[in-house]
Each structure stands twice: as C-alpha cells, then as structure tokens.
C-alpha cells in the first residue's frame, strides 16, 4: 500500500486487511488526523473514487480495488499533540490472526474523553510492522482483563459475528473484599 501524500492525488490498493470494509471506515483508518467530517465530504463530493467510479460511504471494498484519494491538507500538529508512546503488555496468546493481552486496570483501550492515546494506539506504535491491528471488544478503563485484538480483517469480522451470535463464551469475575449488607445466597 502506498504512503498517503497530503499534496497530491494518492492511489491505494485494497489488500486482505481492507476486504469487506466500508470505504468510509477504510479512509478514516488510513487518513490519520483527518476529521471524519472531511472524509465524508470528499466521499459525498465524488473526489474519492473506487476503480474510477464514485461510491457512497457504505460501499464495501474488495481485494484489488484501487482507491483514488484527493490531496488532503492537514493542520500542523500542536505542541501537546504528541504521537502515541509504544506500549507492550503481557501477551497471553498470539498467532497470525489474533493477539490476546493482559490489560491492567486504569488504562483506557482507546483515546477520547480527555485521553490522548489508549491501548490500541500505543500497541500500534509498538508494532509498526503490523498491517492491521484492531480491537475485537473493549474493556472499561478501570477493568483489568484479557483484551482481544484482531491482526487480520477476516479475524475481526469473524469474532464480531461470534460476539453477536453469542458463540463466544465471555466470563466476568469480580474479587471483592468485605461483607455485604442483606447478603443473598
């Protein structure tokens, strides 16, 4: 995949990691720092083309699709807008499709709401060679536990389907100290 240029038209070829993904989500992932509103504007105006044709934001991509991305002007980074610091967490399992890590309490899984960078941004920074790395699910900031990440788009969609169909077994355990009033058995 080509690197995106801010000053000229860029062409991207869809690989396995983008197959089946909506064009809007694909662009949001590849146009880091570009506001979503701008991504949707260039889609609506027809500046983005897939295989030389106009597409809607809901268009699903296929392997080998050629995407034309218009020149994009990005605002300069502010001094406090530093890139994500790499983070390594204990790996519980890893294969070519998934990564399972032990997320400690107090660490947000993604940036937002006053958090500059979460686990996903920091793991991507620690694994720049990874072509695809996405959260399968989230855990609350104050929750510790196993966090699953997909290393391939096909794995992400399969695990999301399993979660929707309740084919995946999820269990939550709580450790509690002290006594409860009106204890129920």
Catalytic residues: 140
Smallest CA-to-CA distance from 118 within 95, 96, 132, 139 is with 139
53 forms beta bridges with 50
Q: What is the CA radius of gyration of the chain?
A: 20
Paired tokens of 68 = 């034309």
40-58: string of b/e by CB count within 10 Å (b at 16+)?
A: eebbeeeebbbeeeebeee
């Amino acid at each position: 995949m080509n690197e995106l240029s801010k000053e000229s038209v860029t062409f991207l070829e869809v690989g396995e990691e983008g197959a089946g993904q909506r064009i809007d989500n694909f662009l949001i992932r590849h146009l880091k720092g570009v506001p979503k509103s701008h991504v949707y504007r260039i889609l609506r105006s027809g500046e983005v083309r897939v295989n030389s044709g106009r597409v809607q934001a809901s268009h699903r991509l296929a392997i080998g699709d050629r995407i034309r991305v218009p020149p994009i002007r990005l605002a300069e980074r502010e001094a406090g807008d530093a890139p994500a610091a790499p983070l390594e967490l204990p790996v519980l399992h890893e294969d070519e499709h998934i990564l399972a890590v032990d997320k400690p309490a107090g660490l947000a899984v993604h940036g937002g709401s006053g958090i500059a960078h979460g686990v996903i941004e920091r793991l991507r920074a620690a694994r720049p060679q990874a072509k695809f790395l996405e959260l399968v699910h989230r855990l609350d900031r104050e929750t510790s536990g196993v966090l699953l990440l997909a290393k391939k788009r096909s794995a992400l969609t399969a695990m999301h389907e399993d979660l929707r169909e309740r084919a995946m077994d999820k269990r939550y355990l709580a450790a509690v100290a002290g006594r409860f009033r009106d204890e129920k058995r």
